[in-house]
Chain A
């Protein structure tokens, strides 16, 4: 079976830094994605990690440890518009791309 865990909800203050963790146990692994989803909208791609280490993209960074089955998304200099759900998804090595999603972490940024 596939199991992806992330916290249900987090709160943070504008301008702060927040780290959203994701742990996974899957049968097969071909990379890990993070998506952002604002309420009532489609998920949009944030980052992709296939090798261990940190990937930085502006205010957002994502880290992966394959041996530990662990990833995190780091958001710096939080803005009100960062209030959204953040979805962790594992790509399975099925020969074509198939993603399994966690239930998502709802982040609320307050002034």
Chain B
């Protein structure tokens, strides 16, 4: 069974901390994505990557960075966490130009206090 695994289901961090959210996929997918999901706003794209060491900004990249050193792993980094980054974070992957849509991870609910 193909999988996208996010390292933590729930996280609580303090304002100003550096936070790492990890995502690993076992499907040999080229593309990987990080979204955040907030009530009334839906899924908003933060960053995506279409190849190792490649990254592109999404719609709301401010306050975030990413790393993709290996094909199967895509990390989201909050350089200095703030309370407005409290959200559900979803990682997804897809084939390069495939028609299969995204496979999502189970999500990380991050609370910044």
Residue positions of A touching B, CB distance < 8 A: 8, 31, 33, 35, 40-45, 48, 50, 87, 89, 91, 95-104
Contact = CB atoms under 8 A, between A and B. Distances in A.
Q: Secondary structure of the B side of the interface? A: loop
Given A87-B43, A103-B40, A95 B104 contact: no
Nearest to A33: B101
A103 B48 contact: no
A31 B94 CA distance: 14
Interface in B88-104: 90, 94-104
A96 B31 contact: yes
Given A96-B30, A97-B95, A44 B104 contact: yes
B102 A99 contact: yes
Contacts of A35: 101
Size category of the B interface is 20 to 34
Given A42-B90, A98-B45, 11 more contacts: A40-B107, A41-B107, A42-B104, A43-B90, A45-B103, A95-B97, A97-B97, A98-B33, A100-B45, A103-B41, A103-B42
Interface string B64-108: 000000000000000000000000001000111111111111110
B19 to A, nearest CB: 20
Contacts of B98: 97
Nearest to B30: A96
B101 A45 contact: yes
B63 to A, nearest CB: 20
B29 to A, nearest CB: 10
